[in-house]
Amino acid sequence: MKKKPVVVKVNDKFQKNYHYLLIEEEGKNFDEEFQPELTPAQMLELGVFGGRYLNDCQNEFPQSWFKKAKLSLEKKDLRLNFFGVDASQPLAVWQKKGWIYHEDPRGWFQWYCRYFMGRRLPDEDKRQIKRWKAIRRHIGQIKKNCLKGDLACRIKQRQALLHWAYDSRKI
């Protein structure tokens, strides 16, 4: 049985008077090709994006996601990243390359958070899942060049994988 759609209204630094529908149960009914290893809450708790993600829009997402989140209200703090390194490009680079979808102006992680909550946008979901699958190439590089469980090997790639919901601690 399908969930009764819920309207989410967004008014934050990046979006004004934006709304979307949640049509699936939170964390369920993902595309069969999309099997992330980490939930948004787990990613935030581990430490991603230098703590500078979702700071001005927490009311859009479940408060439970932020109970153990490593956040920085001031500026990016790489010490908050699980591997302590910068594995992100500035948003301006993502915009210039055309990787930002207008309904998710913060990028892939915003899309994933909304998808996880139950929003579905078939064409955009397909595009983002394709991008998510492409990041797997970093897993191959870690496996090829590192001993299993050596978390000090290729830490920038490992941090980048965390940003894409792959649990690089297990490689």
* pLDDT score for 49: 94
Q: Report the pLDDT value the prediction gives residue 1, as an integer from 0 to 100.
A: 58
pLDDT number for residue 22: 97
Enter the tokens of residue 93.
């680079």
Rounded distance between C-alpha atoms, residue 46 and residue 81, angstroms: 7
| Containing structural domain, residue 101 | 6-170
Structural domain includes residue 97: yes
Burial of 162 per CB tally in 10 Å (0-12, 13-18, 19+): buried
Asked if residue 30 is part of any domain, the answer here is yes
Q: Does 144 fall in a domain?
A: yes
> For the chain, which residues score pLDDT lower than 50?
none
Question: Which pLDDT score, from 0 to 100, does residue 110 have?
Answer: 96
On whether residue 93 sits in a domain, the answer given is yes
For the chain, the domain total comes to 1
Q: Is residue 1 part of a domain?
A: no
Confidence at residue 33, expressed as pLDDT on a 0 to 100 scale: 97
pLDDT at 54: 86
pLDDT of the residue at 100: 85
